[in-house]
Amino acid sequence: MNRRKFLKTSGLAAVAAKGFGATAGALPASPAPRGGANRARLTVIFDEPIGRLNRNLLGQFAEHLGACVYGGMWVGTNSSIPNIHGLRKDTLEALKRIHASIIRWPGGCFADTYHWRNGIGPRSKRPTTWNLWWGREEPNAFGTDEYMEYCHLSGASPYVCVNVGSGSVREAVEWMEYCNSSHATTIARERGANGHAEPYNVTYWSVGNENWGCGGAFAPEDYADHYARYVNLMARAAEGVPVQFVACGLEGGDWNRRFFEALLRRPAGRGILRTVRQLSIHHYFHDGAAVDFSDRDYYGLLAQVGELEAILRRVVATIDEFKEPNAPAAGIALDEWGVWHPVPGQGAEALLQPNTLRDALLAAVTLNGLCNLGSRISMACIAQVFNVLQSMAITRGAQMVLTPTYYVFDLFQPHMDQAGLKSVVESPTYEVQEGKRTMARDYLSAAASLNESRKQICLTLVNQHLTDPLDVEIEFAAGASATGATLRELTSSNVRDQNTFDHPDVVVATAAKHLSLSGHHFTHTVPPHSVQTLVVNLV
């Protein structure tokens, strides 16, 4: 089932207007290149900082859906697949290698049906429930304590989404107490009896998921009412942990404005509005088949990043309208994003899809776009970490294969926690017809950041041209000068290439190699359909 069909059959009418995915139409067989052929320019500007690139930009999302949790993260203590207390070892290690920053859990639509008490205590006594959204039995074997241990072992921060759609304020407050309380309350002692005496100190809490759709089909004013009631008590239950609440937003329409206005109309309006530290936005891409896509579909998919960038700029503008003069602005939590190919949506293999180099390039262009918004993006979680949608790895029994997208997350590591730098791209462009609209995009996508000592700059470059290399003139404004660099790259001979269980290493990132370049102005070639990370030393 593709996403459109899923939305239709699951009754999420409100999201039909979201504008993801390509519409079929009269499309040129291949986009026409415009502008100067195969030469582009990238100017990196040092004196217009855009804020720190939050390491949570490389976040993950895990939902009880298909084989994401059961198969990807949890195999059980009696499994012959190597595990630590039932947690799958190879996927844990894979996440550790890319320094996974944050893992959002337990959904997704599943979150607004999840009752956390079903997932604690002796596993043999936990109930089996029915996963309403994704059509399979839920054994509740992976619950709060297993999730926290998975986060701990992978090095990621937990990010919990509470149940607004079918839960209660009391349930959410008690969940927070279970996770964060250091008092000798019965609930905190229960956590101790379940093997973890110390509080988990969870910082990130999302108040529901897609509450305009699967999370309760609320109007923004009704959601504001629920949000205020949840946060009013959850904030008190936080117990000194500097918790951050993430409110549900929407990428289109007037949901965000109406939500903020409704919060402001409450007696403690400003106070409640201030609790919205991040606003959740979701965005999915889709164009053509997962593997046998046309060249038009290739460009069509990549061009959709332009739509996402425009959406994010509009969300930033709305946030700023409601911002108090001396208070920090809420960040955007793009806590679900990625490519959603047309694949079945129910059961044990729900939303399991192949992952090609095209998907990886889409991820890289998206991440460049997020980096270019600097500190305005506080978090981004790709959907989903294993076996579902644009995953990091696919498992089958004891086997695991890393996807091309995994390597993009590896290549973007050097940006994390660095100071984002503004950069100006001048590039030949491609055009894609999308219904009645023509989308024009630069072949070159780029982002830049500077390390703390100002001695190294990281550039992530994507040449989206299918066949031609791009010579990029790179210029460091403000007198910074290069003295050598390291280069890593992800590409393959065909953009339809993927890693399979039989051939797991078709699309892998290269090891770092030294490049001798110097000066504040140099030319560097980026091969067709490739992603590169250049870490340049500065004098």
Which residue numbers are catalytic?
210, 336
Cis ω for the linkage preceding 433 (within 30 of 0): no
Among 72, 86, 108, 288, binds ligand AHR (CB under 6 A): 108
Only segment of 93-101, 247-255, 382-390, 402-410 that touches ligand AHR (CB under 6 A)? 382-390
Q: For ligand AHR, which residue of 59, 71, 107, 288 counts as binding (CB under 6 A)?
A: 107
Q: Does 210 participate in binding ligand AHR (rule CB under 6 A)?
A: yes
Residue from 243, 281, 383, 432 binding ligand AHR (CB under 6 A): 383
- For residues 539 and 454, what is the distance between their CA atoms, to the nearest angstrom? 9
* Footprint on residues 130-169 left by ligand AHR (CB under 6 A): none
Q: What b/e string do you get for 28-56 counting C-beta neighbours within 10 Å, with b at 16 or more?
A: eeebeeeeeebebbbbbbbeeebeebbbb
**Cis amide linkage into residue 456, ω under 30° from 0:** no
Cβ atoms within 10 A of the Cβ of 290, count?
19
Residue 430: phi and psi, rounded to 5, are -120, 160
Q: Which residue has the tokens 């992800």?
A: 490
Q: Is 63 in the site for ligand AHR (CB under 6 A)?
A: yes
Stretch in the footprint of ligand AHR (CB under 6 A) among 29-37, 172-180, 196-204, 381-389: 381-389
How far is residue 18 CA from its own chain's centroid?
18
Question: Total number of residues binding ligand AHR (CB under 6 A)?
Answer: 11
Q: Are strands 331-339 and 276-285 parallel, antiparallel or unpaired?
A: parallel
Q: What is the DSSP letter of 386?
A: B
Give the x/- contact pattern for ligand AHR in 258-277, rule: CB under 6 A: --------------------
First to last CA, the chain: 54
Which residue among 14, 50, 58, 109 contacts ligand AHR (CB under 6 A)?
109
The distance of closest approach from Cβ of residue 451 to ligand AHR in the complex, given in angstroms and rounded to an integer, is 34
The only residue of 171, 177, 297, 336 in contact with ligand AHR, by rule CB under 6 A: 336
Which residue, 11 or 328, is less far from ligand AHR as judged by CB? 11
| Angstrom distance (rounded) from CA 321 to CA 330 | 11
209 binds ligand AHR (CB under 6 A): yes
Q: From CA 252, how far away is CA 268, in angstroms rounded?
A: 27
Is residue 521 within 8 A of residue 536, CB to CB? The reply is no
Residue nearest to ligand AHR (CB): 108
From the list 52-60, 106-114, 243-251, 314-322, the region that binds ligand AHR by CB under 6 A is 106-114
SS3 call for 189 = helix
Stretch that binds ligand AHR, among 107-115, 135-143, 164-172, 486-494 (CB under 6 A): 107-115
Interacting residues toward ligand AHR by CB under 6 A: 63, 107-109, 209-210, 282, 336, 383-384, 389
